[in-house]
Amino acid sequence: MSSLTATVGGMSFIRTSVSNGVGEIVLDRPKALNALDQSMIDDMYAALGDWGDDDSIETVLVTSASDRAFCAGGDIRAIREHSLDGDTAAITRYFSSEYRLDQMVADYPKPYVSLIDGAAMGGGLGISVHGEIRVVTEKAMIAMPETAIGFFPDIGSTYFLPRLPEGVGMWLGLTGARIRGIDAVAVGLATHFVASADIAGVAESIRSGDPLADALATSGTTETSDVPLRKVGEYFADDNINAIVGGLRGAIGDEWAEEMIGLLEKASPTSLWVTAAMINAGAQSGIDECFDRELHAAEQITATHDFREGVRAVLVDKDRNPVFDPAAIDDVDPAVVARIVGA
């Protein structure tokens, strides 16, 4: 077995090892719930690049050292600091390298297996959903919560969200709704469900070089998804924010619709318009074009008040009381949305 670590200030945030034809990446930044910083992205990209060209490596396995999270996303707090400092070069470097990593996962020439036994949000989906095999447990929590911080669902999600069942991608992208592991399987974000108690055994079987079909033989559950696909399709299949919100507000007495309105009201109105536009554009685009569009949008939106304010309220001061400008979806300037999206 060989191994290496990615270190920052003496602390290891990524551990890699190779044995029995399996290259494993262990995300190990527990205090930040494995949020991907620049060094983690760079080292993960380097490891995957080496293994992709190494004929002795047959499979890649990505796991977490945390019992709470697979990966809670990107290092958005650092991006906010870069934005406040006017360091646009650092912002571009971060997102371009993150999307390059996600693209590598999407194009990877070997089986790429992610074991998700905790929270996986934002950037955590970028390094998992694009891969061939995504294993989740009952402890998995999947979400794209970016609109609540004045951002938008990125990491190639503008490619995969519109390809989920009708309305599901728009629903997840706009509301940031959290779904369980079995729900992720039901809508296509995950490929296998394994009980959390069995996930360590699955990992060990893969590390031992067992055929993936054998390692995943314990997958499956009698549990069923409670994602209300009919309601999601009814309310979120439209491509226009005003139509979606109008439909939800018109559903008098529907508790689920009221809950969704509550989530939308916590989001940046500008982010909602940008997200809808990005998902609509992604439905007609290849994955390369989606990443290019996302990079442009990320560079633009991180310079806005809503991004700085949203991250402050959710991740820095944690008062959960952002003051977005404009504060209503009807007041969002279409020209601002077009500039961010690049339309």
- Mean pLDDT, residues 322-343: 97
Q: Is 123 a catalytic residue?
A: yes
Nearest to 134 by CA among 143, 146, 122, 124: 124
Query: What order do you get walking across the sheet with 179-180 strand by strand?
Result: 69-71, 119-121, 141-143, 179-180
Tell me which of 294 and 11 has the higher pLDDT. Answer: 294
Q: What structural domains and CATH numbers belong to the chain?
A: 2-341 (3.90.226.10)
The proportion of the chain whose per-residue pLDDT surpasses 90, expressed as a percent, equals 93
DSSP state of 6: E
Residue type for position 111:
P
- Pair 23, 57: CB distance under 8 Å: yes
Q: Distance between terminal CA atoms of the chain?
A: 50
Residue 183 has pLDDT above 50, yes or no: yes
- Looking only at Cα atoms, what is the longest distance across the chain? 61
What pLDDT does residue 220 have? 80
Q: Is 50 a catalytic residue?
A: no
Q: How far apart are CA 312 and CA 315, in angstroms?
A: 6
Q: Is 61 helix (H, G, I), strand (E, B) or coil?
A: strand
Q: How far apart are CA 276 and CA 181, in angstroms?
A: 25
- Pair 36, 74: CB distance under 8 Å: yes
pLDDT in tens, 7-57: 444 456 999 999 999 999 999 999 999 999 999 999 999 999 999 999 999
Q: Among residues 74, 126, 150, 156, which one is catalytic?
A: 74
What pLDDT does residue 4 have? 52
Nearest to 157 by CA among 290, 67, 316: 290
Mean pLDDT score of the chain: 95
Q: Is 54 helix (H, G, I), strand (E, B) or coil?
A: coil
Q: Among residues 37, 102, 154, 294, which one is catalytic?
A: 154
| Integer CA distances (angstroms), 130 to 18, 71, 341, in order | 22, 14, 22
Q: Among residues 73, 122, 123, 167, which one is catalytic?
A: 123
Q: Is 250 a catalytic residue?
A: no
- pTM here is 0.95
Q: Is 246 a catalytic residue?
A: no
* Alpha helices for 128-254 (secondary structure H): 157-160, 168-175, 181-187, 196-207, 212-215, 229-236, 241-249
Tokens of 191: 């490929």
Q: Which residue(s) pair with 8 in the sheet?
A: 11
pLDDT in tens, 193-240: 999 999 999 999 999 999 999 999 988 877 899 899 999 999 999 999
Q: Among residues 117, 146, 183, 309, which one is catalytic?
A: 146
